[in-house]
A and B are shown apart, each in its own frame.
Chain A
């Protein structure tokens, strides 16, 4: 038997009794980052494939959501920082060993390209705004210019979207101290999940029936890939060393079982996959809203599980003899 306990007082915030440095702000950001990657990817892809007729919303209207959604996500990311006035420190350096530093610079690359994407499709997607700004000559000239280069802009958008989507997963997987995160599958899983939520959002908003059907089909295939990646993740963790076995036990009968199998896998992947399968075959049309909403929910729950459970998994864990509430009695 080995029993290890703390005999001195220790109640360091965010660390004791379990590491909990990141909360909902990070889950929301990772979700929004993935969603933005999906939005940017499909708006660029549909334009490059000349799908203006089949997917009018994706080609012209979708790009606008990218900067909007990402800005919301970056707001929650900023809320998480404890030393907010020093946020500019991300941009006085580049730390190649830190995925977070890569991410900070990817975000900087995203905005110019994302905004160019919006400008190059503004007239087509939002004619009302297009007409309004066309009266201002320099803006009209700028829109003309962006429209002329809409294909090169879309080509630039693809690698940025993929980097944004995959970095959110690599960010977590680079922590060798957190056994649940420390698997290379997390990058591709977050990327595919992000693309899937992007496709689902497009299917949800698009009015054109053919476009809805196209994105429902794309999303169904992405869900299949995501399920395969989840299977790989489980195989990877459950054939790992002790810390990873302990991590995966949380999903297999442990305290995250219902969230993982019930909410993420069943409600967030299997049920929408089934609904989408029916929908593509022209059945259950009335439930068409449900599948994308569930996919978005599943995408968010995946981030919550990853962020929360990952922090709990650890190499060291001492039960504390020290009652933190006693500290308050000192006053």
Chain B
């Protein structure tokens, strides 16, 4: 199985939201909907404050509760990888996957009535390209690649840098990593 991961360096990210715009443009995301977003986390007490910017999206979990809770198999893993996709032709719009995501909002409702979500730009990944958000990042703080390959940039970064994932305690095994 291909194990894809996204690694985002929170020390380089400046919260410009270009990734959000790139996603909307690349995937023609309908107005008012977002597949990715940026969170600003401020820690500490003035004047000892630290700021962290995080570009967030579907975590393409290795244990994706949205896939397990889908009653029709519409939520599925793409080509035996950990990329979670939704097949509109199987989706009944029951919304169980939205409720099943511990990260709230990894999945959104398309005006057509089916569930739409971040695809890790699998249409680009197929051609050997990076997802739109990664390739557009002006600070080059985002990386995408295979964790199966020990020589990939993402593997190298996770080996050498301190990192975290969001809410590992959910047990979902998310695959978007943040370098801290």
A associates with B: yes
Q: Which of A65-73, A139-147, A309-317 contacts B (4 or more CB under 8 A)?
A: A309-317
User: B92-150: which have CB < 8 Å to A?
Assistant: 92-96, 98-105, 107-109, 112-114
Q: How large is the interface on A (under 10, 10 to 19, 20 to 34, 35 or more residues)?
A: 35 or more
Instruction: Please name all residues of chain B whose beta carbon is closer than 8 Å to the beta carbon of A316 when the two chains form the complex.
Output: 102-104, 166-167
Q: Is the CB of B105 within 8 A of A95?
A: no
Per-residue contact bits, chain A 86-110, to B (CB 8 Å; 1 contact, 0 not): 1101101101011111011000000
B180 at the interface (CB under 8 A from A): no
Per-residue contact bits, chain B 56-98, to A (CB 8 Å; 1 contact, 0 not): 0000000001001111111000000000000011111111101
User: Of B34, B70, B71, B167, which one neighbours A315 at CB under 8 angstroms?
Assistant: B167
A16 at the interface (CB under 8 A from B): yes
Q: Is the CB of A90 within 8 A of B92?
A: yes
User: B1-34: which have CB < 8 Å to A?
Assistant: 15, 17, 20, 31-34
How many Å lie between the Cα of A50 and that of B69 in the bound state?
42
* Interface residues of chain B: helix, strand, loop or mixed (majority): loop
The number of residues on chain B lying at the interface, defined by a beta carbon within 8 Å of a beta carbon of chain A, is 54
User: Taking CB as reference atom, which chain B residue is nearest A177?
Assistant: B102
User: Taking CB as reference atom, which chain B residue is nearest A16?
Assistant: B105
Instruction: Please name all residues of chain A whose beta carbon is closer than 8 Å to the beta carbon of B33 when the two chains form the complex.
Output: 12-13
Q: Is the CB of A14 within 8 A of B98?
A: yes
* Interface residues of chain A: helix, strand, loop or mixed (majority): loop
B156 at the interface (CB under 8 A from A): no
Output the least CB separation between B113 and chain A (Å): 4
Q: Is the CB of A176 within 8 A of B53?
A: no
Q: Is the CB of A86 within 8 A of B105?
A: no
Q: Is the CB of A10 within 8 A of B37?
A: yes
Instruction: Please name all residues of chain A whose beta carbon is closer than 8 Å to the beta carbon of B165 when the two chains form the complex.
Output: none
Q: Given the known inter-chain contacts A10-B105, A12-B33, please indicate yes or no for A83 contacting B93, CB distance below 8 A.
A: yes
CB within 8 Å of B: which residues of A?
A: 1-16, 19, 21-22, 80-84, 86-87, 89-90, 92-93, 95, 97-101, 103-104, 174-178, 241, 310-311, 314-318, 324, 327, 330
* Interchain residue pairs A-B with the least CB separation, the first 4: A82-B93, A83-B93, A100-B71, A21-B95
